Structures are given as C-alpha cells and as structure tokens.
Amino acid sequence: MENKKTLNRRTFFKISGAAGGGMVLGFSWLAQGCKQPEEIAKVLEMPSEWYDINAYLKIGDNGVVTIFSQNPEIGQNVKTSMPMIVAEELDIDWENVIVEQAGLNTDKFPRQVAGGSQSIRQGWKALRDAGATARQMLINAAAQQWEVDPSKLTVSKGIIQGPNGQELGYGEVASMAATMEVPTDVPHKKITDFNIIGSDKKNVDLQNIVTGKPLFGIDTKREGMQYASVLRPPAFGQKLVSFDDAEARKVSGVNDVIKFGNKIAVLADATWPAMKAKKLINAEWAVDSTLESTADHDKQLIAKLNTDNTEPFRNDGDVDKAFSEADEIISRVYESPFLPHNCMEPMNFFADVREDKVEMHGPIQTPAWSRSRASKIIDRKEEDIDVTMSRMGGGFGRRLYGDFSDEAAEISSIAKKPIQLIFTREDDMTAGTYRQAIKYKIEASLKDNKITGYKLSEAAINSNMYGLIPNFFPAGAIPNLRISGNKQKSNITTGAWRAPYTNFLAFAEQSFFDEVAEKLGKDEVDLRMELLEIAKPIAESDEKIEYSPARMQGCIKLAAEKAKWGKQAQGTYQGISAYYSHNTHVVEIANVVMEDGQAVVKKVTCAVDCGIVINPDAATNMVTGGIIDGIGHAMYGDLTFDNGVPSAANFDEYRLIRNTEIPEIDVHFVPSTKDPTGLGEPTLPPAGGAIANAIYKATGTRMYKQPFVKEMNVIG
Amino acid sequence: MAQYTLDVNGKSQTVNVDSDTPLLWVLRDSLNLVGTKFGCGIAQCGACTVHIDGIAMRSCSIPVSKVNGPVTTIEGLSENGTHPVQKAWKQHDVPQCGYCQAGQMMTAAAFLKENKNPSEKEICSAMNGNICRCGTYPRINKAVKTASKL
C-alpha cells in the first residue's frame, strides 16, 4: 500500500501497509520496535495508514509513532536513546513509540556511523529538529482545522489542545500534517520540560534479546543462501601459491570452492560443512613480504622512541631550556601489545549480488563505506546496492572495517548466489584489524617543586594516534610541552579499537602523573586540580585545547567525594585517573586491597561529565561496561606475533575478563544542562591508570607494560 | 549424512546431517533456532549454552550424534519471555549488545534449578564460564539474584 500523500519535498520511505500484523520492510526481522509484535498487538492497535512526517518518523492514523533509528547499533544503545530525543521533542508518550532500524540512506540521514562516541553528540540537534518540526507540523494542521492561530494551541503527549478546550490526537491530524510545509527554526523544548530525556527507558530490543529472536547479522537467512567460510593466509606477509580442495569438496553439503585473491571460500548448505571443509583444504603459502615478530617490533619501536626527527604534534614554550634547567628529570617508558577486538559475534555479512540489484545486510559500523567499496569490487553503481544494518554483537571498532562485507560481496558476485559469510573465532582473532602495539616515552622536568616541562614521544605500529589529539591534557597545564611521534610500518592490519588514540595512552599518562605527584610530595588529586587550575586561562585563550579544565575539576571533585578519597580505612589503597576523550570527561578511582599477598581491585568509583544524560540507567550500564572492559584489557589483553602469526586464535589462548574478576563499580554523573556527548568509549581509557596507581600504593610496584598480569608475574 | 531425531523445546525434530555436526549448528541452521549463539566453537565462551536434560551444556562442542536427552534452547525457556530469568533480565535491562545473553540466561536458569537461594559468590562462580565482552556482569549477577526470588 502506498502512502496516502505524496510529499512535496524529499522523497521519503516507501512504506508498506501495516494493518494489524506488524510492518514488513525489505527484511522481515528488521522491523522490530520497542515492543515485540505480540506485545504490540496487545498494547498498541496498529494503524491502518501511516503518514510520513519526515525522514525520522511516521505517524499512524491512531497516533502510534514509528521512529527510525538511523545509526548502527553495536550495544551502545543508540537504537533506544536516539529515538528518545526525537520522541521528547515530538511530545509523545514513549509507550506509543515503535522503533525501527533504518537502512543506509545517505540522502536522508547524516552520518550513519557507529564510532567515536559521536552518535548522540553529532545527532543531538538533527534529532531534536526532527521531533520539534514534526510537532509543529501537527500543531499547524490542527490550527488549520480549527481555523485558529497555531500559537494558541498547546500539546502534551500526542494530544493537541485548542483554545476552547478542543482536542485532536496526532493520529487525527497526521494525514494533513504530512502535506504541510516544513517549518524552519522551530524552537526546541526547554531542558526543564524534558520528561523522556533523563528518564530510564529500557532497551527497545530487550524482549527480542531475552527471547532469542533473530536480530544479529549472523542470524540472517534467505532463500537459496549459501554459507561461506574463508581460508586466509595463516600469517601476515604470506600469499597463496596453490591449493588442493579435493578433500574439502567431499564433505556433504559443500557446493563450491572459490579462490579470490589470496583467499579461498568454501560454499555450503550450512555453516558446519563450510567450516569443516575449509580445514581440509591443503594450501601452499609463500612469503610475500616480511614475516614480522613482536621481538622485532619491540626493537624498532624503542629505536623510534629515541628518534627525535619528526615535527612535533604540539610544541609549547621552550622544552629544551626547561629540561636543561631542571632540578630533576623523570623519564619513563610505557609499552603495550597488540589487541584483537573479540566481538562476541564473529565477523559475518550477507550479500546477494544479482543482475537487478545488490542486497547487503549485516553488522557494520560504517555501512556507507561498505557500499562504496562494494561498488568498486563488484563494479556496480552505488545506487544499485541496498545496505541494511543488523543489530551487532559488539563493535569495539572492528566493524568500522568492512573487510568482511567486501569479501561477502566478492564471493556472492563470483558464485552468483546469495551468501552469508561467517568467520570462525579463529578467523576473527587471527585476521583482525588490531589495536597496534604502541610505546610511549614520557619525561618531565621538575624545578622548585613544580613541573616545568613535559615531553612525550610516541612510537606506534602503522599510525601515530597522538597526532590526532595533541591538544588534550596536559596541553595548557605545563608551559613547556612537546608531543611528538614516529611510526613503524607493518603489514599487520591495524585500526581503531574502543577508545582509539587513548585506550593505552591514558594509562601511560595518568600513571606518569602519579609518579610526578610522588616526586613533588603532593596528593594525586591535589596535583591534578592544580594543573587544571593552571590550564583554565590557557584553555580559554587557546581554542585548540579540547578539554575543559573546569569540567574535569568538577569530575575529580565528585569522584573524590563519592570514593571518600583520602578517608579510606587502613588496608584499602586508592588510585586515581582523570581522562578526557571523545568529548566526555571521566574520573575513576580504584580501591585495591591485598588478599593472600595479591593486589585485588575491589571497587571503582567513577564520575562522568557527558552533559545531559539521555537515558540514565542505560548510561550507567554503558559506563560500567567500559570500566570493566578497560580493567580487563589492561590486566589481561595480550596479542603478540611470531613470524607473522598471532599468538592467540581463540579464548583458550586469549584471556578476556570474566564474571569473578570484576570489582564493584559505582557510577555518578555530573549534573549538567550542556549538550550531551557520548559514552561508548570515554570510560575505558582511565581504568588502566586508576588500577595501576592503586596497585602501586598497595604493592610498591609500578606498572609500565600491559598486560599487568605479565608484569605482576615477573615481579612474582 | 544420517538422520537424527531430537526433542527440542518439547517438539520432536528430525534432521539429516553429518554425525559430527555440533548441536549448535543443527539448532541454528537446520531448525532455524538462531537464539543460541556461536561464539568460539570450543566451549570457552558460553554463548551457545543450552539445556540437555535440564543441564547447561555447550552446544558448539556436542555432536548431534551424542545428544541423548531433550534439548531446551532460549526459544523454549518460556512461551513469551516469562521465565523468571527472562523477567529478571528485563527488570535489570541487562544487555548491551545482547549477543551473549541467551547463553548467560540458559546458564543462570540451569543454575537456579540447583541452587534456589544463591549467595553473590555462588552466582559469580556459576556464571564465570560465560563471557560478556560488553561487561554487563554486574547486572547479570543482580538479575540472577532477582530471578532466584521470582
């Protein structure tokens, strides 16, 4: 059924009729809203007609509203929080909202990306505009019907009231509203009038998750679909020479074996035969470039750390003078391994490359990039390619890189069949796009009991992370400061990993400042507050400085108060870490006690300033998870390479933090009316420093390398 | 290939697969019960946990030929998400990405049958075999406690 009205502006969704039985878009299980279909049937009577108001929402003739969530959902809960913002401005009862995941449509939606903790921050204004504009159109429609001035009308929870007590529901004016001119510059609600934003709303997919409904990319099924398992070079730096697939083809259910590039895909009727047959391929590999090892990387990176041949990323004052005049210099080196992402849902993607069109579906943080690359790989126009996003079993940056969607498109194009590509866990861990190994050398010059100079040198595999964030703390807090970096090219694929740039840097820096505090004989909280005080006027005059010294001080105060900093009973050791990243200020204080001679992290108290908190209970969940993830990877995360082969391929060899290893987490938000910022990433970076600093107080041992578990074993 | 008849969620199901096919893939690919998730394939992460004869088992590591009891998956835990564990999961809004949660809930449901009033420590230990990469462990533990009282 077509929509009743043809809209006189951009063309909006062609929406199928949805009377009674739930909506049907291209993929039947994408159309799952706040409520599960049975619940909708019970609670919400489905409308007989839908009216497109704008790209973000449509309203049914009975007042039910569907809000499209345009960004990919990786567990950061944007599928709930972004529609909450639209619903707030629309002024509708949340109970009457159905949320649908929108497919990729770059004409309608800006930035359909899950990454950088930017969905809420960058979506905020557009989402408010979408809701507010729609509300005004509905008001204007009612005003026209009643022949009164729109300014005389009020609205509350989807009901418009006229000056004489008349009432019209949104559903009753939706058809007219859909034809109205789109107003501009519609004012937003006052923050004090919010009733959806700032209240706890449950995950819109909750019922479907707890009942095991098909939601994830890996759950995709299509008529005639083949499952594809791909054999890739076992080491980075290798190429395929030849292969024998005779044994693989004997596995029942296997239909084809396809070579593409340096890889071989097995296509089968089901996942198991595809995976089983892949192991039976006898492939010969040859060295293509260099087979790299961690021992070589270590030497190369240390050499780079001590090479001062690059343009600094930031250079304030006269660092050399400060160091030459110092009473004392502290110099420390911090080292990290590679890290795989290890999303619980292994990489996978569906592609159906047909003559008429191309369908791609699955878990991807950057659907537009997938479409663009697929267009080149299979030589088809972008407009012929439909990309839709499934819910994702984790992203953590791995799904920014659509190597798997590229593979799916290529295999389907060769096989001329719909295919579902699926990685084994071993594929996932050994064909990664890893957080690269990084080393930092940090130095400070001290004079007259003050820090006078700060030098940071970064040596990293493939790319210098700090080059992108040189204006974070301590820029502005220390008059003579130089930040520089060198990179070591590698054939190991590397990329963004949760809280890119800072997931390791924050540990290094915040551990270093604790050593500075110790040298200066200062309390760690006091030192940070003093440095931020110095930075305040500089941050006002230097617009490059990204963080807010005042907001960070607010976080430190709140965390210190909640953690009872300096007031712990004997035997509890506290460490603090304060870190701004991804536009959010975070402070974490760890409590460590000694049990049977081992340092045990008992509690982490966290204060966050992310501006307005959209969905507090869900935000607390996200913050808690980020801290646990940060602790887990600082303690245990470790991937090394030997002749191009990763040291771990599955969870028997790679340690992720488990249930019995977590501390109590206590989360607090700084009350704020500032525009909201994101939470997926910024609570991870401070965790490593907070626990390292507490471990030092408990044991007298400083951590300089991740994972800590290795350091602690060495110390014995 | 051979025929196997299984009791899955109270229904008799016959599948035609190789004898070494893990129960996980029989459920997901042959029976279209995709609520049970693939995580590691080597019984390390718990994402694929189901009940066989009421006991929590890793379906990725049990060949279909070795399944010797009725199988319950997340889809069969209750009619419509009304099992106490599912209710508690909803009450605490546990999931982030949600991928591991079916396995977590199946482990919890089997555990609570054995231990009706678990301590916090017993809950952590019982749940330790299930990895949650998002770090929802604190809520998982609270939800298990809540479920024990429902």
Confidence check: pLDDT of A309 > 80: no
Q: What is the pLDDT of residue A466?
A: 80
Distance CA B53, CA A241 (A): 49
Q: What is the pLDDT of residue A40?
A: 52
Instruction: Tell if the CB–CB gap between B18 and A657 is shorter than 8 Å.
Output: no
Tokens representing residue A592 in the block:
């460590």
Residue in B25, B90, B141 closest to A206 by CB = B90
Instruction: Tell if the CB–CB gap between A271 and B28 is shorter than 8 Å.
Output: yes
Distance CA A526, CA A588 (A): 15
Residue bearing the bigger pLDDT, A128 or A5: A128
Tell me the helix, strand and coil percentages in chain A, rounded to 5.
35, 25, 40
Distance CA A64, CA A46 (A): 7
Alpha-carbon A460 to chain mean position: 22
Chain A: closest CA distance from residue B139 (Å): 8
Instruction: Tell if the CB–CB gap between A425 and B39 is shorter than 8 Å.
Output: yes
Instruction: Tell if the CB–CB gap between B128 and A658 is shorter than 8 Å.
Output: yes
The answer to whether the beta carbons of residues A491 and A289 sit under 8 Å apart is: yes
Q: What confidence tens digit (pLDDT) does each residue in A226-272 have? A: 999 999 999 999 999 999 999 999 999 999 999 999 999 999 999 99
Give the count of beta carbons closer than 10 Å to the beta carbon of residue A100.
23
Nearest residue of chain B to residue A348 (CA atoms): B38
Chain A: closest CA distance from residue B49 (Å): 12
Q: What is the pLDDT of residue A478?
A: 98
- Pinpoint the residues of chain B covered by CATH 1.10.150.120: 84-149
Distance CA B48, CA B23 (A): 9
Q: What is the pLDDT of residue A169?
A: 97
Q: What is the pLDDT of residue A15?
A: 30
Q: What is the pLDDT of residue A14?
A: 27
Confidence check: pLDDT of A35 > 70: no
Q: What is the pLDDT of residue A33?
A: 37
Confidence check: pLDDT of B70 > 60: yes
Spans of all domains in chain A: 24-210, 222-288+344-430, 499-505+520-714
Eight-class DSSP state of B59 = G
The model's confidence at residue A43, banded by pLDDT at 50, 70 and 90, is low
Residue in A392, A652, A660 closest to B97 by CB = A392
CATH architecture, domain defined by A24-210: 2-Layer Sandwich (3.30)
Strands A598-609 and A664-669: parallel
CATH number (2.40.50.840, 3.90.1300.10, 1.10.150.120, 1.10.569.10) of B84-149 reads: 1.10.150.120
Amino acid identity, position A81: S
Confidence check: pLDDT of A171 > 70: yes
Say which range, A228-242, A460-474, A500-514, B73-87, has the weakest mean pLDDT.
A460-474
Chain B: closest CA distance from residue A419 (Å): 14
Confidence check: pLDDT of A590 > 90: yes
Tokens representing residue A329 in the block:
């210099």
CB pairs under 8 A between A and B: 192
Domain A499-505+520-714, what fold? Aldehyde Oxidoreductase; domain 4 (3.30.365)
Maximum separation of any 2 CA atoms in chain A, in Å: 83
Chain A: closest CA distance from residue B144 (Å): 13
- Pinpoint the residues of chain B covered by CATH 3.10.20.30: 2-76
Strands A438-447 and A450-461: antiparallel
Q: What confidence tens digit (pLDDT) does each residue in A363-378 have? A: 999 999 999 999 999 9
Q: Which long-range contacts (CB under 8 A, 24 or more apart) does A706-715 make?
A: A706/A335, A706/A336, A706/A337, A706/A504, A706/A507, A706/A633, A706/A634, A706/A637, A706/A638, A707/A337, A707/A633, A707/A634, A707/A635, A707/A636, A707/A637, A707/A638, A708/A634, A708/A635, A709/A635, A709/A636, A709/A655, A710/A638, A712/A599
Using a CB-CB cut-off of 8 Å, the residues of chain B touching A275 are 41
Question: What homologous superfamily is domain B2-76 in, according to CATH?
Answer: Beta-grasp domain (3.10.20.30)
Distance CA A477, CA A479 (A): 7
Q: What is the pLDDT of residue A37?
A: 46
Using a CB-CB cut-off of 8 Å, the residues of chain B touching A280 are none
A191: three-class secondary structure by DSSP? helix
The model's confidence at residue A45, banded by pLDDT at 50, 70 and 90, is confident
Q: What confidence tens digit (pLDDT) does each residue in A593-639 have? A: 999 999 999 999 999 999 999 999 999 999 999 999 999 999 999 99
The model's confidence at residue A29, banded by pLDDT at 50, 70 and 90, is very low
Mean pLDDT of chain A: 92
Are A24-210 and A222-288+344-430 equal in CATH topology?
A: yes
The model's confidence at residue A308, banded by pLDDT at 50, 70 and 90, is confident
Residue bearing the bigger pLDDT, A429 or A37: A429
The verdict on whether omega for the bond into residue A234 sits within 30 degrees of 0, i.e. cis, is no
The model's confidence at residue A112, banded by pLDDT at 50, 70 and 90, is very high
Q: What is the pLDDT of residue A39?
A: 52
The model's confidence at residue B122, banded by pLDDT at 50, 70 and 90, is very high
Model-level ipTM above the cut of 0.95: yes
Confidence check: pLDDT of A4 > 50: no
Maximum separation of any 2 CA atoms in chain B, in Å: 46
Alpha-carbon A439 to chain mean position: 24
B44-60 mean pLDDT? 98
Q: What confidence tens digit (pLDDT) does each residue in A407-439 have? A: 999 999 999 999 999 999 999 999 999 999 999
Instruction: Tell if the CB–CB gap between A344 and B130 is shorter than 8 Å.
Output: no
Using a CB-CB cut-off of 8 Å, the residues of chain B touching A225 are none
Confidence check: pLDDT of A38 > 60: no
Residue in B96, B124, B141 closest to A621 by CB = B96
A265-283 mean pLDDT? 98
Q: What is the pLDDT of residue A138?
A: 97
Amino acid identity, position A649: A
Amino acid identity, position A194: F
Q: What is the pLDDT of residue A711?
A: 80
Eight-class DSSP state of A639 = B
- C-alpha distances (whole Å) from B97 to each of A204, A605, A614, A659 are 12, 24, 18, 17
Q: What is the pLDDT of residue A506?
A: 98
Instruction: Tell if the CB–CB gap between B42 and A203 is shorter than 8 Å.
Output: no
Instruction: Tell if the CB–CB gap between A651 and B44 is shorter than 8 Å.
Output: yes
Task: Name the burial class of residue B7, with classes exposed (0-12), middle (13-18) and buried (19+) by CB atoms within 10 angstroms of its CB.
Answer: middle
Chain A: closest CA distance from residue B102 (Å): 6
Instruction: Tell if the CB–CB gap between B45 and A651 is shorter than 8 Å.
Output: yes
The model's confidence at residue A110, banded by pLDDT at 50, 70 and 90, is confident
Instruction: Tell if the CB–CB gap between A391 and B98 is shorter than 8 Å.
Output: yes
Domain A222-288+344-430, what fold? Aldehyde Oxidoreductase; domain 4 (3.30.365)
Instruction: Tell if the CB–CB gap between A425 and B136 is shorter than 8 Å.
Output: no
A59: three-class secondary structure by DSSP? strand
Tokens representing residue A395 in the block:
């992203």
Residue in A202, A394, A660 closest to B133 by CB = A394
Chain A: closest CA distance from residue B46 (Å): 10
The model's confidence at residue A10, banded by pLDDT at 50, 70 and 90, is very low
Confidence check: pLDDT of A177 > 70: yes
B81-95 mean pLDDT? 98
Instruction: Tell if the CB–CB gap between A214 and B34 is shorter than 8 Å.
Output: yes
